Structure formats: C-alpha cells, structure tokens
Structure 1
Amino acid sequence: MTSESIYRKYLMTFDHDEKWGFYVNSLGSTKIKSGDSYPSKGHPGSYNFSWEQGRILNEFQFVLITNGEGFLETKETGKKKISDGDGFMLFPGLWHRYRPKKKTGWTERWVGFSGTIAKMFLSNGFFNSNRPVIQKCKRTNILGYFDSLFHLFNNEPFGYQRLASGICLQLMAELYNIQQISDNEDSLNTMVSRAKQIMYKQINDSINPEEIASEFGISYSKFRADFKKQTGSSPLQYFLLLKIEKSKDLLLRTKKTQKEIAYSLGFESDYYFNRLFKQKAGMTPRVFRNNIKN
C-alpha cells in the first residue's frame, strides 16, 4: 500500500476484540490533489465531517501527512499549521477539524483505535490533547507500520485484529519516542554543545565522562545515550577522535616526533597512540605525515 493509493477500511469489532484492550477501528490512505474538495466522499456515519461543522470521534486516531500542508483545529488548541512530515493525534469526545491547503493538497494516512489500553495513553499523560501535533514523523519505520497494517487488513488472516493491535502499539511507542526527542531537542543540543566545549578545553589531558554527566545533573547512561544520539559516538570515543584530529594537525604543522605528540595530547603511551591513530585514520602517524606532505 502506498501513500498515493486511496484506501479505507472501517472495521467491525466484537466482544473478544474489546476484551483484548486495544483494537483498530479504522485505517486509510488518501491523496488529496491541489484544488480537490476536502474531505473526500465515502466516509461512513460519524467519520464524515465538513470544515464548517467539524467532527467528534468515539475513538483515537493518528493522522500522518506525508506530502503537502494544511491546518488542524481542535477545541483545546485552536488552529495549528500542519506541514509535510507532521502527524497529529485526535482524541475521543474532542471536537476537531482539519484540511489541506487548496494550493498544495496533501497525502494522509490514518489509523483509528480504541480500548482500555488506548485510554491509558491519555490518562497517564503519554499523549496530551493540548499538544496533538507530533513533528518529524515521516520516517521509514513509521511508514512501515502503516504498510504492515494495510497488508494485514487486506488479507485478514486468523487473529488479524490482535496482530494489528501489536503493530499499532509499536507505532504509538515510536510516536511517543519521537515526541520526547522533539520536546527535549533544545536542552539536548545545549548539553551536547557544553560537553564538546569541555572536551576541546581538555584535549591535552583526559576527561571523566561520569563527572561531566554529574555536572549536568543526569546519570552517565542517559548522558552517553543522548550524546551518542546527537553525534553518533559515545563521549569517550568522540573525545579520542578529537585527539586524533588534533594529532593530524600537529603531524603536518610541526616537527614534533610521534612520541612528543602522543604525550602532549595526554596519551598513556606512544604505542597506544600509534595503534589508535591507525585504527581511526587507516594508517600510522608516520605514513600519514609522509603521504600528506608528499
């Protein structure tokens, strides 16, 4: 199933589905071209709505916009701009309306779900009706969850509702993670930037990542995870890479020996420096100096 397809599925649910605690009610994908009327026709009963009247659903829905832009308006938030890659949550019993801009249209995917577990998302504060928009959702894994749901409901194998509930729960978990990263992005950037400054200042010495984490008031495991998320390397590996880059500069700009450079940058031995340099640069310091200069 692709985002260009027009697909709608409204599902009957039974007692055993509801007892499971989480079940999918609706699923769809529609491409609205620029200038097209919206919403498109063919939605049954309470799912249909107009911009003038809006709508109140009896289920949760997550709507993902993969192309185009438009607006979402709810009773609690007022009007919000929706851009390509944004997703938004719709909550049961809460009035809302949304539509693409006429000049851009948009491509939307949505999944509706209910159940006692779904209600816990709201009651436990994982998703908040005051902040329904989740940015940067157009990711391979998010699209993959939708594709899996489309495939499942096209074929309807035995127990497909329970299988769908697992996929949808994975989708919700990933959306929560994306939301948390977005919420903490500014503070995360600041923390990593400060950590890098400490490393630059102490490049000729050593660092203690646990002490840096303590200065930020967080555990080392969280500091390491957040740092790696931003840079792709653990704090210690990043610090060692800085030392290697500084050693390259010294090898090319000065006449210091390899041993002198190693000790000036705080390496415990010339042997360790040589081994690490070769590991990171693909050649020994001596070969690097001779090859680049020549």
Structure 2
Amino acid sequence: MHLNRESDKFIAQNDISKANFKKYLIISELDQKWGFIVNDAGYTIIPKGSEYPPKGHPGTHMFSWKTGRIINEFHLVLISEGEGLFESKTAGKQKIHGGDAFLVFPGEWHRYKPNKKTGWTEHWVGFSGEIAHLMIKEYFFKKENPVAGKFNNQLVTKLFRSIHQLIKEEPFGFQRIASGVCMQLMAEFCNTQHGSGLKNESPVSRAKHIMNEKIGEDINFKTLAQNLGVSYSKFRSDFKRQTGLPPLQYFLLLKIEKAKNLLLNSNTNSQQIAYELGFESDFYFCRLFKMKTGFSPQTFRKNEWAKLNKLK
C-alpha cells in the first residue's frame, strides 16, 4: 500500500520510535472544515514497574486506573510490546497483548494500563471531525468490539511513524496529510477486525477468485467450502463478515455486473447472456437483473446507450 510522497519524506527520516514523544495540536477553523482532524499523537515506552499513566499530558487526557476518563475525541492506541488491560463501559475489561490495538470512542468511559511485570510500548493518535464521526458510527466500528488483535505489522508501524513525524515537523498542509494517513490506519484496523487477522490468501479471498474464474458456472458453496478446508457455516459466516453478503448473493451480483458489461459492450441478446453466465433460464436472468438494477436487460441497454450517445 502506498503513502503519498509528502509523508514518505518523513518516514525516510530518522527512526523516532526510540524515545518518548507526544504532541497536542492547535486546531484552527480551517482544520475543522477539512472534516477529519488529527488532534494529538505520540508514543511512550513504559518500563516494567513504572507508574501509569506518565505525567505531562493535558488535564483533559490525564486519568488514573481508579477513576478512568472520558474524552471528546477518538483514540486509536497500538500496544506494540508488553501487555496490560483495557476496559470500557460498553465492552468491559479485556486483556491486551503486544501487537493488539484498541479504539477509544468519544463520550465513552474507559481506562487502560500496562502490567507492572512487563510494562508496554504504546503508540496513539487522537482524531475527530464530521467525517471521522460518519465513518466510525456505521457498521465498521462498534463500541462493543473496540480491540483488534495482532494489529501490529510493518505497514501499521510505518503509518504511525509517519503521523508522529508529520505532527512533530508540521510542514505546510501536514494536518490534511496526517488525516489521510490516520484514515488508512483505521482502514487497517477495520480490515484486521473483520478479517480476523487473515492474510490475502484466506478461504474467502480464494473463494472470490474462484467465483470470478467460474462466473459462467453454477457453484455449490458447501462443496467449495469443503475444498477450501473449512466448514460451510464458518465459510458463510466469514464471507458475510468480510463482504457484507452471503456467498450466493455475492456470486449473483458478480454475474449481474458481468451482464451489464456484456449489454453495454456487445450486441449479445439476453438469452445468450443468460446462457453464458450459467443462469437456468432467460426468464430467471431477466427477473433477477430487474430485481437488482430496476430495469430489464433491454431497457438497461437502451438507457445506457442513450446516455453514451449524448456524451458524444
């Protein structure tokens, strides 16, 4: 995954993760208009046996384990080494291991601390704004599930370092660049949670590849799951969690998208398209096409060709 050129300049500079760093930014009206604002970021090495949290944070961000705290921004916290505890009002208490990350929601009581026997190294970024709230309040992030296990990897480390260096140096436009990097971090957090830490060649990814390869065939998904080495119930559950659709519905939508392409870029009639895409009949294909697009294949072709002719 590629960062923009400006942030790459900062990543290439000295490794800044060897010392503690934190910075709380002054946010202007112009920054607010951008819609996604990085408010603060930093990293702290907490040696074993140390008191927590360390001093030096603003009063609004300080807390004790006894009282916890409530803040008015989102915080994404990565624990790269060590272990400890995280607790929030909605999710309850959870053990945190090195490599885990957790998301703190604005207005949500929470607290966290390292195990005194191990200490920990924490990296965080605080952010807010209208776009941040729109992104977080939807399906992808829930207060009931604020932890992503095994989140730490080379890309995540690079993204955190980029944010830290950007706010340390504050070059022109750094706030907008940092917000983009932060959104990429949140995408990684989301993918880690919904993908359960799976790699690109997961059963779901392999199944999607097979669907594209066999788009003109009829796939038995129970047999496919068996061939992929997982139970059908787990395969279906994982597939829906990662794509938002059951396998069959996803496969049918692939066929509909392929049908659209054929309708727009060839003179193939609906009966031939139905046969080419493995539908049991032209009637079933036309009914499904209208259900998914709102138009019959013929009307869809006519409307889209009319639009193209107007553009010429």
TMscore range, shorter length: 0.5 to 0.7
Cα distance between partner residues in 2 of 1:213 and 1:149: 46
Matches within 5 A, 1:43-82: 43-82=57-96
Residue type at the aligned position of 2:75: Q
Cα distance between partner residues in 2 of 1:80 and 1:12: 33
Give the one of 19, 24, 43 matched to 1:10. 24
Cα distance between partner residues in 2 of 1:190 and 1:152: 36
CA offset digits 1:117-173 (Å, max 9, x no partner):
110123212211110001111111111111111121121111111111111111111
Q: Are the counterparts in 1 of residues 23 and 168 from structure 2 also a CA contact under 8 Å?
A: no
Cα distance between partner residues in 1 of 2:139 and 2:218: 33
Q: Are the counterparts in 2 of residues 68 and 107 from structure 1 also a CA contact under 8 Å?
A: yes
Cα distance between partner residues in 2 of 1:59 and 1:45: 14
Cα distance between partner residues in 2 of 1:221 and 1:111: 41
Q: Are the counterparts in 1 of residues 192 and 198 from structure 2 also a CA contact under 8 Å?
A: no
CA offset digits 1:97-118 (Å, max 9, x no partner):
0000010000000000000011
SS in 2 for 1:63: strand
CA offset digits 1:10-63 (Å, max 9, x no partner):
011011111100010110100001101100111111111100110101000000
Residue type at the aligned position of 1:50: S
Task: Find out whether 1:41 has 2:64 as its counterpart.
Answer: no
Residue type at the aligned position of 2:43: S
CA offset digits 1:180-228 (Å, max 9, x no partner):
111889xx659979xxxxxxxxxxxxx96854465563446999xxxxx
Cα distance between partner residues in 2 of 1:69 and 1:189: 31
Alignment match, 2:139: 125
Residue type at the aligned position of 1:97: R
Runs of at least 5 residues in structure 1 that lack an aligned partner in the other structure: 194-206, 224-294
Task: Find out whether 1:169 has 2:180 as its counterpart.
Answer: no
Alignment match, 1:150: 164
User: Alpha carbons of 1:208 and 1:104: their partners in 2 closer, same or farther (altered >3 Å)?
Assistant: same
Residue type at the aligned position of 1:56: I
Cα distance between partner residues in 2 of 1:135 and 1:87: 7
CA offset digits 1:241-276 (Å, max 9, x no partner):
xxxxxxxxxxxxxxxxxxxxxxxxxxxxxxxxxxxx
Cα distance between partner residues in 2 of 1:220 and 1:190: 12
How many residue pairs get aligned? The number is 210
What TM-score does the superposition give when structure 1 sets the normalisation length? 0.65
Alignment match, 2:34: 20
What is the RMSD of the two structures over their aligned residues, measured on CA atoms? 2.9
Cα distance between partner residues in 2 of 1:112 and 1:155: 17
Matches within 5 A, 1:1-294: 1-182=15-196, 211-212=218-219, 214-215=221-222, 217-218=247-248, 219=250
Comparing 207-216 with 110-119, greater Cα deviation is found at: 207-216
What TM-score does the superposition give when structure 2 sets the normalisation length? 0.61
Q: Are the counterparts in 2 of residues 3 and 31 from structure 1 also a CA contact under 8 Å?
A: no
Q: Are the counterparts in 1 of residues 17 and 161 from structure 2 also a CA contact under 8 Å?
A: no
Cα distance between partner residues in 1 of 2:193 and 2:252: 21
Alignment match, 1:257: none
SS in 1 for 2:53: coil
Q: Are the counterparts in 2 of residues 3 and 108 from structure 1 also a CA contact under 8 Å?
A: no
Alignment match, 1:284: none
Cα distance between partner residues in 2 of 1:51 and 1:84: 20
Cα distance between partner residues in 2 of 1:170 and 1:213: 36
Residue type at the aligned position of 1:146: F
SS in 2 for 1:8: strand
User: Alpha carbons of 1:213 and 1:24: their partners in 2 closer, same or farther (altered >3 Å)?
Assistant: farther
Comparing 162-171 with 108-117, greater Cα deviation is found at: 162-171
- Give 1 or 2 for the bigger CA radius of gyration: 1
User: Alpha carbons of 1:220 and 1:164: their partners in 2 closer, same or farther (altered >3 Å)?
Assistant: same
Cα distance between partner residues in 1 of 2:123 and 2:253: 34
